[in-house]
Amino acid sequence: MTNPPEPALSVIMGERRQLINLAYRLLGTLADAEDVVQETYARWYAMPVRARLDIRRPGAWLTTVASRLCLNILTSARARRETYVGEWIPEPLPEPGEWAVTDPADQVTLDESVNMAFLVVLDAMTPAERVSFILHDVFGYPFAEVGRIVGRSDVACRQLASSARRRLRTAHTPAPLPDQAGVVREFKAAWEAGDITALIGLLDPDATATGDGGGRARTSRHPIQGAESIVRSLHALFRRLGPMTLLESTVNGQPGLVVQRDGVTVTVAAFHVVRGRIRHIWAVRNPDKLRAWTPATAVK
């Protein structure tokens, strides 16, 4: 009796995009996602050929390993975040093909599960909640399989995913895309016109603005509360930075803004719009998180 042939390289590597999508949703940065996927493949090819032949579902094996690696990283994330300068925001993603050319296998599918408001709520969850919810609700894994990955019973994972859903329903209520696009467009026009009154009127009175400079770009180290305070702080920051160009763009599948200076992307802003007003602004200025936002004209 002969053993079945080992899965072809193309079959194994064909799982790469799925793994990148999973790891990004769990970890919030492409760099960490790429590291996890690389380690997952390293573990696959470190096994003896006979051991690989015994794995009936290579895709499920790769997903399990990647998920567990993500779970380990999430468990230690609190300690790592303590050394991060200022607020931490998930890495923003552009619309595929809109900015720098990237490997299609590394592109994250931009759906509801990657918009910035959604990711921020995920980031506040416990690691087990986050992994259980993403594996089951986003990727369709049965709770019995999720339990084996997380190391808990399927009943416990069901409860974790249910808790995650409640958090998302409470904190995440996006407006329809056309409404969001209109508000973001009005915000851009008011900013370019220097219309402070209009800017304040577009913000919810209790709005919050969070900046992520990572210690590498100037921004407030703490969230700014209140419409007037936000507009004053933004105005002061960009006055110091000098002439800027604002571009409308898709950020994690939602309408957003890109700020450029001399053709270089220096800020990517995502918005949470509720009932026609901006409830939250997330402004990512850490250049390490803006790698994907290189203008296509700069790619040779």
User: Band of the pLDDT at 171, cuts 50, 70, 90?
Assistant: confident
Q: What is the pLDDT of residues 242-260, one digit of tens each?
A: 889 999 999 999 999 999 9
Residue type, 77: A
Domains defined for the chain, CATH in brackets? 9-170 (1.20.140.160), 177-298 (3.10.450.50)
pLDDT of residue 22: 96
Q: What is the pLDDT of residues 70-95, one digit of tens each?
A: 999 998 876 677 788 999 999 999 98
3-state secondary structure the chain: CCCCCCCCHHHHHCCHHHHHHHHHHHHCCHHHHHHHHHHHHHHHHHCCHHHHHCCCCHHHHHHHHHHHHHHHHHHHHHHHHCCCCCCCCCCCCECCCCCCCCCHHHCCCCCHHHCHHHHHHHHCCCHHHHHHHHHHHHCCCCHHHHHHHHCCCHHHHHHHHHHHHHHHHHHCCCCCHHHHHHHHHHHHHHHHHCCHHHHHHHEEEEEEEEEECCCCCCCCCCCEECHHHHHHHHHHHHHHHCCCEEEEEEECCEEEEEEEECCEEEEEEEEEEECCEEEEEEEECCHHHCHHHCCHHHCC
- Give the pairing of strands 245-251 and 254-261: antiparallel
Whole-model pTM above 0.75?
A: yes
Kindly tell me if the per-residue pLDDT of 218 is higher than 80.
yes
pLDDT of residue 300: 42
Q: What is the pLDDT of residues 117-150, one digit of tens each?
A: 999 999 989 999 999 999 999 999 999 999 999 9
Residue 214's nearest CA partner among 266, 268, 287, 280 is 287
3-state class (DSSP) for residue 103: coil
